Amino acid sequence: MHGYVPLDPQTDVSQEHYAVIYSQRPTRKRFPAGCVEVVADAKTAIEQAAQKEKSYAAKVIGPSKSSEGQYIYYLVNWLEA
């Protein structure tokens, strides 16, 4: 995938997760850790996102430290209900 730091197979620093993302603009490809709530599975992400305004279920990779020093998550794909 273009635009994110690839997973390192020798460590577990950044991993794929299911998450609920709070965002004004769901067109972004990366999100600050403060906007991302990691959850156990896709079903949980979809259910929790449906209960909150401007929240979206997604599969993400992270956390990763940006060049600005913030922890971010990269969007893999949005999950459909």
Tens digits of per-residue pLDDT, 35-73? 999 999 999 999 999 999 999 999 999 998 888 989 999
CB atoms within 10 A of CB 70: 13
Sign of CA dihedral 37, 41, 42, 48: negative
pTM: 0.85
- CA–CA separation, 81 and 61 (whole Å): 20
In degrees and rounded to multiples of 5, residue 17 shows phi and psi of -140, 155
- CA–CA separation, 59 and 27 (whole Å): 14
Annotated domain spans of the chain = 15-78
Over residues 22-41, the mean pLDDT reads 95
